Structure 1
Amino acid sequence: MNNQEQPSLKTTGYYLRPFRADDADTVQLLAADKRISEMVSNIPHPYPEGAALAWINSHRPAWDERSQASFAIVDKANHQLLGAIGLSIKPADNGLTEAEVGYWLGVEYWGRGIVSEACQRIVKFGLDELALDRICARRLSANPASGRVLEKAGFRHTGTAEGSCGDKFTSLDYYEILKS
């Protein structure tokens, strides 16, 4: 195990920092909105009471194992928690290290370019600081805004297929960005 702390990252307008236990109430409130569940693969609706704290408590062990890097997206101006972005890290079949990016944002913050800015920064972190060879993403085809986020961050669309994403079986669009 590696006991190095997960870093905090900065963008022009936002901090990406590890979640803290005192974020649980805000996460619980934001993630409980059914519109988020409809656009994100792994957030159930209704969002179970206590799920936010359990999720936050899973982050440090996952970081220590280098299987996950989870960040709160926080507004620099008012320190408001807006959503989450993270990398699920795994060794690739061909021996190269890869991760899948995932994110969600409180509904009232949609359409402001927040996740685009956060995604660009986490891609740089993954490729440069974690030395990943590839970062991939899946999005529900019904969520074209997520596709625009990925394209702004430099991802290339690699295909569309029916598949499982969290608890949903639906049309998915696949993306990747390579270190090279």
Structure 2
Amino acid sequence: MDPQLNTRRLHLRPFSYTDAKKVSKLADDPVIAATTQIPYPFTLEKAEDWIALHRGWMEKGSAYPFALVTWEEAELVGTITIRIDKNHHKGELAYWIGKPYWGKGYATEAARRVIRFGFEELYLHRIWAQVIHSNAASQKVLEYTGMSYEGTLKEDLYHQGTYADVDIYGILSSTYVSHETK
């Protein structure tokens, strides 16, 4: 399965090796690293290695990483992935947006579309996400998608030399309401 998804402003497609330079440029930012689990520095080699894993993940159905590309400018602005746990019929949502593209609603738009993909095409029972407690912008994204705050895992993540609390958000297929974004 090689899915491509669309929203009103974004084309969500598999990454290609030609994306590696832009991925590295966007992800190699200490602010991105501070609010996500992306390593810093994020070199071109790390971007290429990460992209090289995608085909295998998609072929196994274990994860679907998407490049977020704007329709108008054909600009890569970030990424969103849904990691699949087949044993429990659930998926974990993970994403980041390059700092120049923050505040434009791209993460919410992409997350809504991938949640729809997870429930309507992958037939998942539950979709969840974790967010570093201090990342208020990402918490809002998850709330805007219809996910609910489920709890905080205290000092669950060793992140940049300290232990960070992680907030868990989730949504069940039975409570899912499509937020169509086409």
TM-score (norm 2): 0.90
In structure 2, list runs of 5 or more residues that go unmatched.
Answer: 175-182
CA-CA distance at 1:162 after TM superposition: 1.4
In the aligned structure 2, how far is the partner of 1:52 from the partner of 1:179?
33
Residues 124-133 or 48-57, more deviating: 48-57
Matched, 1:121 2:113: yes
In the aligned structure 2, how far is the partner of 1:70 from the partner of 1:55?
10
* Percent identical: 37
Runs of 4+ off more than 3 Å: 163-169
Matched, 1:30 2:26: yes
Q: Residue 150 of structure 1 corresponds to which residue in structure 2?
A: 142
In the aligned structure 2, how far is the partner of 1:166 from the partner of 1:106?
23
Q: Residue 8 of structure 2 corresponds to which residue in structure 1?
A: 12
Q: Residue 139 of structure 1 corresponds to which residue in structure 2?
A: 131
Q: Deviations over 1:112-148 (max 9, x none)?
A: 1110000000000001001111001100010011011
In the aligned structure 1, how far is the partner of 2:78 from the partner of 2:119?
22
CA 1:143/1:46 → structure 2, altered by over 3 Å: closer, same or farther?
Answer: same
CA-CA distance at 1:163 after TM superposition: 4.0
Tell me if the contact between 2:82 and 2:94 (Cα under 8 Å) persists in the aligned partners. yes
In the aligned structure 2, how far is the partner of 1:146 from the partner of 1:32?
19
* Superposition pairs of residues 65-144 of structure 1, within 5 angstroms: 65-92=60-87, 96-144=88-136
Residue 93 of structure 2: SS of its match in structure 1? Answer: strand
CA 1:7/1:49 → structure 2, altered by over 3 Å: closer, same or farther?
Answer: closer
Q: Residue 59 of structure 1 corresponds to which residue in structure 2?
A: 54
TM-score (norm 1): 0.91
Letter in 2 for 1:12: R
